[in-house]
Amino acid sequence: MDGRAFASPAGGVRRYVTELYGAMRAVDPSVEVVAIGADHDTSLPAGIRRRGAIAFPSNLGWMGASLPVAARGAALDVFHAPAYQAPLWGVHPLVLTIHDVSYARHPEWHPYKNDPFRRAFYRQSARGADRLVTDSEFSRSEIVAAYGVPPERIAVVPLAASPTFTPGAYVPGAPPAAVQRPYALHVGDLHARRNLGTALAAILEVRRGAANPLILVCAGIDRGVANDLRDQATRATDPDALVLTGPIDDGALLNLYRGASMLVYPSRYEGFGLPVLEAMQCGIPVVAARAASIPELTGDAAVLLDPLDVNAWSEAVASVLGDEERRAALSRAGIHRASQFSWARVAEQTLDVFRTIARGQR
């Protein structure tokens, strides 16, 4: 597999490969995993072997020369490209994981909307792979629509939350220090498609006249919308309604989950929505958009709303905040729903794809 993924700048990709390959060795120790191009200072799950590669410059050089040469010399049964892009030639059988295709279906939301070369590269990777893996039925249908790949070539393997995320006591005053309860939490990079203006508008409405007003805490890297959110709170003459923590480590994130009154997730497009599952596994009520893959993930264990209906969001946030019995019911339902997902299951289903495609190529 492409070992650079263990040091990817995208936190979701790092978590995916770390959890997947850690679980894979646990479910079948006979599987030999070779991380091509993983730096010696990059932490890998136990039992994974590093293999060097000539580092041709640029990502194009890596995909067009470094990986093909190294993979052909490794005598692999199957090669896994874990995030959107695959070697340009000569590496088969090839399995490619695509988590979502928002960049193709909604380029106006994507940071590379003016980068047709990158989008073409992703399209070529999808069409050239022997098998695709994705996180949800929603994403499978979107890949078919975006790239014309036959649905039978796409395996759906839902993700799981890390076992780190469990119910527990909140530690007041722990970092990030600016956070004070009660708060509604959003986790994930701040993208336009995450539609955070709806959540903030709802919370600004709920705060009016409240004795102990709820705040919105957003934990994640800003991808271009932070200033708009600050301006929205300032125009409402309520800048204290919003706290942006920036990126945080897993320890601080776990504490934020445990202390939240609810997770708010108004995203208009998600291939899976891992923070929703993490929050449910921590026993935190979830109020989320009835959009994309989110209903597929939550089942009946969350409050689902039209992502653009601010009045419905205000009413739902106020109702969950003010009804202890309802919060407890959502907490129980979320924990039960999250228990149906595990990284062992992800590893087993992914291995099934690897074995099937390797046998087929032989």
Per-residue model confidence as pLDDT tens digits over 346-356? 999 999 999 99
Asked if residue 189 and residue 123 are part of one domain, the reply reads: no
CATH of the domain at 281: 3.40.50.2000
pLDDT value at residue 361:
58
Could you identify the residue written with the tokens 């078919």?
144
One-letter amino acid identity for 132? L
Asked if residue 203 and residue 299 are part of one domain, the reply reads: yes
Asked if residue 198 and residue 109 are part of one domain, the reply reads: no
Asked if residue 350 and residue 334 are part of one domain, the reply reads: no
Residue 206 forms part of a structural domain: yes
Name the percent of the chain lying above pLDDT 70. Answer: 98
Asked if residue 122 and residue 65 are part of one domain, the reply reads: yes
Cα-trace Rg, the chain: 21
Asked if residue 349 and residue 334 are part of one domain, the reply reads: no
Asked if residue 35 and residue 139 are part of one domain, the reply reads: yes
Residues 6 or more apart from 153 whose CB is under 8 A from it?
130, 131, 132
DSSP string, 233-299: HHHTT-GGGEEEEES--HHHHHHHHHH-SEEEE--S--SS-HHHHHHHHTT--EEEES-TTHHHHHT
Question: Span 229-239, mean pLDDT?
Answer: 98
Please give the Cα distance from 149 to 96 (Å, whole number): 13
Residue 71 forms part of a structural domain: yes
Residue 10 forms part of a structural domain: yes
Residue 171 forms part of a structural domain: no
pLDDT of 9 over the 90 cut: no
pLDDT value at residue 111:
62
- The count of domains in the chain is 2
Please give the Cα distance from 140 to 138 (Å, whole number): 5
**Both structure tokens of 236:** 């409402």
pLDDT of 322 over the 80 cut: yes
Q: Phi-psi bin for 7: left (phi > 0), alpha (psi -120 to 50), beta?
A: alpha
Asked if residue 85 and residue 212 are part of one domain, the reply reads: no
Residue 30 forms part of a structural domain: yes
Q: Among 74-78, 96-100, 257-261, whose mean pLDDT is lowest?
A: 74-78
Residue 239 forms part of a structural domain: yes
Asked if residue 132 and residue 224 are part of one domain, the reply reads: no
Residue 273 lies in domain? 183-338
Which tens digits make up the pLDDT trace of 163-198? 999 999 999 888 887 799 999 999 999 999 999 999
Asked if residue 121 and residue 45 are part of one domain, the reply reads: yes
Residue 259 forms part of a structural domain: yes
pLDDT value at residue 362:
44
pLDDT of 114 over the 70 cut: no
pLDDT value at residue 203:
98
pLDDT of 95 over the 70 cut: yes
Kindly report the average pLDDT of the chain as a whole number.
94
Asked if residue 194 and residue 94 are part of one domain, the reply reads: no
Please give the Cα distance from 85 to 103 (Å, whole number): 13
Residue 243 forms part of a structural domain: yes
Please give the Cα distance from 281 to 234 (Å, whole number): 34
Asked if residue 193 and residue 149 are part of one domain, the reply reads: no
Give whole-number Cα distances, 223 to 83, 118, 288, in Å. Answer: 19, 18, 20
Query: Is the CA virtual torsion 346, 348, 349, 350 positive or negative?
Result: positive
Please, which pLDDT band fits residue 93 given cuts at 50, 70 and 90?
A: very high
